[in-house]
Amino acid sequence: MQAAFFDLDGTLFTGHIWQGLAEHHRTHRTHRLHVATYMVTHMGLWLLHRAGLILEEPALAAWVHHLGWLMAGFSTEEAQEVFGTLVDEYVLPRLRDDVLQILRLHQSEGRPALLVSGTYQGLLDVIVQRLGLHGAAGTQLQVRQGRFSGGVIEPSCFSTGKVKRVQQILAHHPGIDLACSYAYGDTIYDLPLLESVAHPVVVYPDDRLARIARERGWPFVGDERNRT
């Protein structure tokens, strides 16, 4: 069976989960030190990359790998409240209507629609419920004694890790054939997932992914955007 796999940040919606979560924590006056630590650490890594001292991919992978810091100390019950608020107030208002219509078309034609994102598995599960999707592959957070530790369970759902997480998820959905499916992504780091399916589609792609898509004749949704 074919399925349709959608990246989240920049693809199905226009925002970034880490920004929404930082905004949530500031508004609710919680975990502000965690937000500050996360921002200072990763802006520092990005500046090192811009200075040519480290490669881009490890710098961006750290943004995903350390995303658990922003949920450290929350109980699983508290986290569900945070995820629900974040989805309803930040994610759903920023959905791309054109991409959501494509997703609904896949569903109407009998293809399950699944999310594949570096963000938290628990948050993706809320989006799955809200939008009536088939499932999701995301980054799993470590839980110790009922609270998030700040760590993640490998593999993080980034770059090649996206394909690994999808393969783990599909072990519970044996009817879906990844190789004959559709996938939608917006950055060069979605390339491993796009290359793993028969029908890759780039969505408002960064310039590097757009260049590869043009060379390979892949379809576009939306305009190419420049990297910042």
Is residue 62 scored above 80 in pLDDT? no
**What value does the mean pLDDT take over residues 190-203?**
98
What are the structural domains, with CATH classification, of the chain? 4-221 (3.40.50.1000)
**Residue 101, class by beta-carbon neighbours within 10 Å (0-12 exposed, 13-18 middle, 19+ buried)?**
exposed
Instruction: Identify the pLDDT of residue 22.
Output: 82
Residue 45 has pLDDT above 90, yes or no: no
Whether 36 shows a pLDDT value over 80: the answer reads no
Q: What is the pLDDT of residues 108-148, one digit of tens each?
A: 999 999 999 999 999 999 999 999 999 999 999 999 988 99
* Measured distance CA(199)–CA(7) in Å, rounded: 14
Amino acid at 69: W
CA distances from 3 to 84, 108, 114, 175, 222 (A): 26, 12, 8, 10, 21
Stated as kind and residue range, the H or E segment containing 149 is strand 147-153
pLDDT category at 19 given cuts 50, 70, 90 is confident
Provide the pLDDT for residue 228.
44
Strand locations in 4-78, DSSP E? Answer: 4-6
What type of residue sits at position 7?
D
Give the tokens for residue 1.
């069976």
